[in-house]
Structure 1
Amino acid sequence: MSLVRGGSGLEATARAFWSQVHPVFMLPPLAASLFGAILAGSVDPPVAAVHVGAMFTAVYTAHLKDGYVDFHVRGEDDDHPLTERGCRVGLVASTAAFAGCCLLLAALADLLAVALTAPTWVIAYHHAPQLDMHPLSATTGYPLGIALAVLGGFGAQTGTLTPVPVGFALVFLVLLSGIKVIDDAQDYEYDRSIAKRTVAVVVGPARAYGVAYGLMIVALLVVVALVAARVFPPGAVVAALAFAAVAAVARRAGPELATMLLIRGSYVFLAVLVAAVWFEPLSRVG
């Protein structure tokens, strides 16, 4: 049986599997992993690379499973490059690769790194069709994966956790959950038709916007509070201000444009945080 639809041969197969790499959603978990490693102060490159590999395979698993469910199970998508068998083969391969990364983390780092990393695959594999049907898990699944990437990246380097990475993980969880609420609002009509209970479906699109921006405001206030408490470096305030400026523009846009602006704003937020930690070592403020 063929692994791909509408093609044959090695090139078509490689192209079909590569199509499941979505940079917009893949880059943040990889960057979060590296950010966690940077927070540790001294980075062991092989360990960091293995953890980044684990994050890549986890998110790839999520994309494969989501595409399989949306096209082959729900009939939501108009097309998909992989057959059902191709999706299953890909899921087995990505899961095996993830397991291999976890074994390497156990050998190169410790079991804490594995304990912080393993749940990302669980979230990825069960996102569709289980977790994406409930407003809480549909909203927090991807952000929780990002938060775990920060913690895992730090834990793999240090073998422990401190208030600094936990604080950053919390901020990303809340901030990205706000963005996810707006992202889900794009599919309000369809989600409602299949009883998919996103926040927008449960409270309505207008109130969902209020929930989303409320979460983002809370996240930015947490950044300011942790700077004031000398947990975060002072430069983290600049990251909060930069994201706030993007959010102010996105607030006047529709769900699709707002999501695009806010996701890119989160990239800026992370980049400024990396610069703040890099140029203002936390040991000076701890």
Structure 2
Amino acid sequence: MALARADRGVDATARAFWSQVHPVFMTPPLAASLFGAILAGRLEATLAVVHVVAMFAAVYTAHVKDGYVDFYVRGEDDDHPLTERGCRVALVLSTATVALCCLLLFVFVDWVAAALVLPTWVIAYHHAPQLDMHPVTATVGYPLGIALSLVGGFYVQAETITAVPLGFALVFLVLLSGIKVIDDAQDYDYDRSIEKRTVAVLVGPRRAHTIAYGMMGAALLTVVALALARVFPPTAMLAALAFAAVGTIARRATPEIATMLLIRGSYVFLAVLVAAVWFEPLAPLI
């Protein structure tokens, strides 16, 4: 029985499976895992790779399940590259990959390292059609996965959890949740028609817009406060300034353009934070 809808053969099947890799949404969780490892101050490459693969497989699970629900269950999408059986095979493979990574982390680190991975798969698998129907879980599901990825990446290296990774995880949770509210506002009319209760549907697009930028502003102020308290490197404030500049431009744009700008702004935000943490050991020399 075919796994790809468009064509048969190994190449067509491989392309269909690869189509569920969406770099825009894949990159932040993987980068968060590596950022967590950098925060730990050491890098055991093998363990870092295992954790990154686990995060990749978890997000891949979300993409396959979301596509399956949108096309085969809800009828929202016009097409899907995988057959129903192909979706199930992909889910089995991604889930098995997460399970294998958890086993390796349990053996080579400890049970906490594995336990920090498991919720990311739970969020991914249940995002559609369960979690994406409620305003809270629809908003924080993806950002919470990234926060867990960061904390997990740190723990795999350090075998402990400190205020620094928790602080960064909180910042990303709030910041990305704000971006998600803006993103969901793009689909306000359709979501309302199917009774999908996003924040925009619940309070209206204009109020959701205010809430979203309030959340992002709170996240940036948290970065500044923790930098002044020396929990974060002082140079982390540059990341807040960089994202604030992007946010100011995005606020005047349509939800679609704003989402594009804010997602890319979050990449800049993370890049500046990585640089701030990476070069902090040089601070006494400057």
Return the TM-score normalized by structure 2: 0.98
**Residue number in structure 1 paired with 2:278:** 278
**Residue number in structure 2 paired with 1:86:** 86
**Residue number in structure 1 paired with 2:43:** 43
Q: Are 1:233 and 1:281, in contact at CA under 8 Å, matched by a contact in 2?
A: no
Structure 1's unaligned 5+ residue stretches are none
Report the Cα offset of residue 54 of structure 1: 0.3
Report the Cα offset of residue 282 of structure 1: 10
Structure 2 residue matching 1:89: 3-state secondary structure: helix
Cα gap change, 1:61/1:82 in structure 2, threshold over 3 Å: closer, same or farther? Answer: same
- Percent identical across equivalent pairs? 76
Q: Are 1:51 and 1:153, in contact at CA under 8 Å, matched by a contact in 2?
A: yes
The 2-side partners of 1:281 and 1:154 are apart by: 18
Cα gap change, 1:22/1:256 in structure 2, threshold over 3 Å: closer, same or farther? Answer: same
**Residue number in structure 2 paired with 1:53:** 53
The 2-side partners of 1:228 and 1:235 are apart by: 10
Deviations 1:212-239 (A, max 9, x none): 0000000000001101111000010000
The 2-side partners of 1:151 and 1:6 are apart by: 40
Look up the equivalent residue of 2:260 and give its one-letter code: M
Look up the equivalent residue of 2:208 and give its one-letter code: A
Note the 1:205-284 alignment, pairs <5 A.
205-281=205-281
The 1-side partners of 2:29 and 2:88 are apart by: 23
The 1-side partners of 2:33 and 2:189 are apart by: 35
Report the Cα offset of residue 195 of structure 1: 0.4
The 1-side partners of 2:14 and 2:35 are apart by: 30
Structure 2's unaligned 5+ residue stretches are none
**Residue number in structure 2 paired with 1:189:** 189
The 2-side partners of 1:283 and 1:272 are apart by: 15
Look up the equivalent residue of 1:117 and give its one-letter code: V
Q: Are 1:233 and 1:282, in contact at CA under 8 Å, matched by a contact in 2?
A: no
Report the Cα offset of residue 158 of structure 1: 1.1
Q: Are 1:34 and 1:150, in contact at CA under 8 Å, matched by a contact in 2?
A: yes
Structure 1 residue matching 2:11: 3-state secondary structure: helix
Bigger shift: 39-48 or 103-112? 103-112
**Residue number in structure 2 paired with 1:180:** 180
Report the Cα offset of residue 28 of structure 1: 0.4
Look up the equivalent residue of 1:267 and give its one-letter code: Y
Q: Are 1:251 and 1:258, in contact at CA under 8 Å, matched by a contact in 2?
A: yes
- Could you say what the CA RMSD is over the residues aligned between the two structures, in angstroms? 1.1
Report the Cα offset of residue 283 of structure 1: 10
Bigger shift: 127-136 or 112-121? 112-121
